[in-house]
Amino acid sequence: MGKEIERKFFVTDSTYREQAVRVKSIEQGYLTSEQTTVVRVRICDSQGFLTVKTANVGATRGEWEYEIPVEDARDLLSACKGRVIRKKRYIVPAENGLCWEVDEFGGDLAPLVLAEIEIPSVDTFVALPSFVGEEVTHDPRYFNSALAAQA
C-alpha cells in the first residue's frame, strides 16, 4: 500500500518563485470525493494520472497513483464532480532531499497559495522557509478535493 505523509501551509510571500527549480501546470478534478476515499484525475504538463487516496489519519493517508494516457485524463476531467482545479506548482528544494510544492491556484480559487511538503515519517523535522505561514494540514477546507467541491 502506498502511503502519503504531508504537511500543508499557507504561503506568506512570493520568494518561493525565485527558489523554484521547476514549475508545472496542473489541471485536476475528482471523480468521487467521499469522506473515506477520493479518486482524482490529473493532467500535469503533458501527462495524465489517476489517483486513489484514502481518508487522512493525521497527516498520513493511503495513496495509489497510476499514469494514464493524457487523452483519457482529458475525457475523465469532463466527468468530474465540482470544479476542475487549475494551478501552477513550484518545486522548491528543501533539506534532506525533500521538496516543497507550492501551488498557486487559478480561476475563482485565486489568489490562494498553499505549500506542501511530503515527508518520510510523521516525526520528520522540517525547517520552515520564510515563505511558509500558518499550518493547515488538519483543516479539511484546504484539501484539494474540498476546494473542487466548493464550485
Residues marked active site are found at 30
* Closest by CA position to 148, among listed 90, 109, 104: 109
Please tell me what DSSP assigns to residue 27: E
Calpha distance 8→11 (Å, rounded)? 10
For the chain, the first-to-last Cα distance in angstroms comes to: 32
E-assigned strands of 45-141? 47-54, 60-68, 81-93, 99-105, 113-118, 132-135
* Closest by CA position to 7, among listed 150, 106, 136: 136
